[in-house]
Amino acid sequence: MKAARFSAFGDPDVLGIVDLPDPRPGPGQVRIAVRAAGVGAGDWRKRRGLLDQELPQTLGHEAAGVVDEVGEGVTDVAVGDRVFGFVPDGAAQAELAVLAPYAPIPPSLGFAGAAALPGAIETAMRALDRLGVARGDTVLVNGASGSVGSAAVQFAVARGARVIGTASAANHAALRALGAEPVAYGDGFVERVRQAAPDGVDLALDVAGSGVLAELVALAGGAENVLTVADVTGAREHGVRFSRGEDGRAVHVLAGIGPLIESGGFAPPSVTTFPLAAVAQAHRAGESGRVRGKLVLLVG
């Protein structure tokens, strides 16, 4: 099969499309003919040598496609079904990939839209689960307009929480449409949040990693009420919980997202697509910071 891979750390030019052996599904896994694979910041951090140090490396943990082989014990899907999910070996950006966990693609979504979901919705749901967000809570989401932030906003609203979200002014209308009360980030954002919530907030989630954990602690009344998925150094400094998934993943969200989307309760992120062969171009676009929504590679 063809797959994206790099054999040296560096700029996007180190990326190439190579031939690799076809993967085989193990017990409880399915193999798909990949139609779309997500691209995220972790991919270019890996490529720069900021994460795993072994070489060569394949890329991608999110994929959507058509089941072409099932592993032992799999009875909930069959060959030919459309599914999406996580690729445990980090080789989603390829013609074939093994998924576990996985779920049926919601009927209204295409492959690109489905491939944009797993990482964002799992991170957002896991964060809200860890914080214990419930009906009646006032929740502040720092970085509410990105794919993780907008998912967190929608999940919190679905739980019956009041959501205040920080974002640039250009994204305020979109946040209102998702059910959040937007405030501008940057200097003075604490005062703007207090204008919206004079008594502070019950809980705060940081998905932006913008160095404001101390302010979030003050707004939420203590470090125990704050969680970050983006600022491990700040978490240590301020006694805030940090979640990267080692504390367990919220994979239940994969099966639950379909009914929410089909009922109109969740708006998937917008996607910008590139062909698999243009993976280097996709990295350049992502690193530029000028692409809104989720980057997705189209395969086949």
CATH of domain 2-117+268-298: 3.90.180.10
CA dist 8 and 283 (Å) reads 15
Domain residue extents for the chain: 2-117+268-298, 120-242
Q: Is the peptide bond between 101 and the residue preceding it cis, with omega within 30 degrees of 0?
A: yes
CA dist 296 and 112 (Å) reads 6
Length of the chain equals: 300
The answer to whether residue 198 scores a pLDDT higher than 90 is yes
At 161-195, the pLDDT tens digits run 999 999 999 999 999 999 999 999 988 999 999 99
Identify whether the C-beta of residue 35 lies closer than 8 Å to the C-beta of residue 298.
yes
Question: Given this chain, do its domains 2-117+268-298 and 120-242 carry the same CATH topology?
Answer: yes
- One-letter amino acid at 113 equals G
Identify whether the C-beta of residue 91 lies closer than 8 Å to the C-beta of residue 63.
no
CA dist 270 and 291 (Å) reads 10
What's the Cα-to-Cα distance from 216 to each of 234, 235, 239, 288, rounded to whole Å? Answer: 11, 11, 12, 28
Helix%, strand%, coil% for the chain, nearest 5: 35, 25, 40
At 98-139, the pLDDT tens digits run 999 999 999 999 999 999 999 999 999 999 999 999 999 999
Q: What kind of fold does domain 120-242 have according to CATH?
A: Quinone Oxidoreductase; Chain A, domain 1 (3.90.180)
At 217-267, the pLDDT tens digits run 999 999 999 999 999 999 999 999 999 887 789 999 999 999 999 999 999
CA dist 281 and 101 (Å) reads 29
> 107 is written with which tokens?
């009927």
At 200-221, the pLDDT tens digits run 999 999 999 889 999 999 999 9
Task: Write down the pTM of the prediction.
Answer: 0.94
Burial class of residue 222 (count of CB atoms within 10 Å of its CB; 0-12, 13-18, 19+): exposed
CA dist 197 and 216 (Å) reads 13
> 244 is written with which tokens?
């990267």
Strand partners, 83: 65, 104
CA dist 273 and 36 (Å) reads 9
> What DSSP designation does 249 have?
-
